[in-house]
Amino acid sequence: MGFREHLEEVVSRVDGALGCTLMGVDGIEVETHLTEAAGPDLRTLLVEYSTLLRLAREAAQAHQAGDLKELTIQTGGVLTVARLVTPEYFLAVALQPEGNFGKARYLLRITAPKLEAEL
Amino acid sequence: MGFREHLEEVVSRVDGALGCTLMGVDGIEVETHLTEAAGPDLRTLLVEYSTLLRLAREAAQAHQAGDLKELTIQTGGVLTVARLVTPEYFLAVALQPEGNFGKARYLLRITAPKLEAEL
């Protein structure tokens, strides 16, 4: 199962999912799968969020808070859940605000180790 | 009820809470209440997280995702939930990783409007 199939599976199993990406914390995508419901700016929003992952990782390390595991960003239009797969890559799913947040977190948790093994 | 009393109430009602802060997105604290269980670096960690709030707010606005509402950062040692009170100030609670995340989110949601009225 390739990266794309993993991303498609996450999106298909989460109600309200708009898209899913595997991306470096430098903002460079490995693979992204967006649904037709995704707005034209979702891809660039996710690229900008990569900066948050990088800064959160550095802040946690600098202040003895351990390794960054997960970041959730809720805005009026998009709920994004991101999980570090390795220190350099993260897996993120973007949902409609009323989407199934718990299912999204769960699927990221079980999918991340599968991607890690392939990275 | 002053800011400090609101922060103390949040901390007292959330199992595993390490501290609570009302802070500007520029990292300047209005009021912070830490428990004895908080590590020496928690205050500076929260100050660093203010940068994430600011960047997330700007990214969401720039990419038609609406207003930033909430940011959650989970690390190996600290789970932090932050909610914007106004575009310039946020309320955040830091918990032990096994702390009551749902209760923390709920209390931020009901406490934020009370603080907004006093800011």
Residues pairing with B71 in the sheet: A73, B82
A56 contact residues in B (CB cutoff 8 A): 49, 52, 73, 75
Name every chain B residue with its beta carbon within 8 A of the beta carbon of A68. 73-75
pLDDT at A1: 83
Q: What is the mean pLDDT of residues B73-95?
A: 97
The answer to whether the pTM exceeds 0.80 is yes
Q: Is A2 exposed, middle or buried (0-12, 13-18, 19+ CB in 10 A)?
A: exposed
Centre a 10 Å sphere on the Cβ of residue A102 and count the other Cβ atoms it contains. Answer: 10
> What ipTM was predicted for this assembly?
0.94
Residue B97 predicted with pLDDT over 90 = yes
CB contact under 8 A, B45 and A68: no
- Cβ neighbors of B96 (< 8 A, separation 6 or more) are B16, B18, B37, B78, B79
Average of per-residue pLDDT across B39-43 = 92
Contact between residue B35 and residue B17 where contact means Cβ atoms under 8 Å apart: yes
Give yes or no for residue B1 having a pLDDT over 90. no
Question: Which letter does DSSP use for residue B76 in this model?
Answer: S
For tokens 């934020």, the residue is B112
Q: What is the mean pLDDT of residues A5-20?
A: 97
Coil vs helix vs strand at B16:
coil
- Which chain A residues touch B87 with a CB distance below 8 Å? none
Residues with Cβ within 8 Å of A12's Cβ and at least 6 positions away in sequence, in order, are: none
Q: Chain B residues with CB inside 8 Å of A41's CB? A: 63-65
Q: Is the pLDDT of residue B26 over 90?
A: yes
Chain B: residue whose CA lies nearest to A44:
B63
CB atoms under 10 Å from CB of B21, counted, come to: 25
Instruction: Identify which of A40, A38, A37, A43 has the alpha carbon closest to the alpha carbon of residue A22.
Output: A43
A61: pLDDT confidence band, cut at 50, 70 and 90? very high
Residues 6+ apart with CB under 8 A from B68: A73, A74, A75, B53, B56, B57, B60, B61, B84
3-state secondary structure at position B100:
coil
CB contact set of A88 (below 8 Å; sequence gap of 6+) = A24, A25, A26
Nearest Cα of chain A lies from the Cα of B85 at a distance, in angstroms, of 13
Q: What is the mean pLDDT of residues A75-103?
A: 97
Instruction: Provide the 10 A C-beta neighbour count for residue A58.
Output: 13
pLDDT, position A43:
95
Average pLDDT, chain A: 96
Q: What's the CA gap between A9 and A113, in Å, rounded?
A: 15
Q: Which of A39, A65, A76 sits opposite B77 (nearest CB)?
A: A65
Task: Look at residue B107 and tell me whether its pLDDT is greater than 90.
Answer: yes
Q: How many residues does chain B have?
A: 119
How far, in Å, CA of A109 to CA of A34, rounded? 20
Could you give the CA distance from residue A56 to residue B55 in angstroms, rounded to a whole number? 11
Residue A57, SS3?
Answer: helix
Best of A42, A52, A61, A98 to disrupt the B interface (most B CBs within 10 Å) is A52
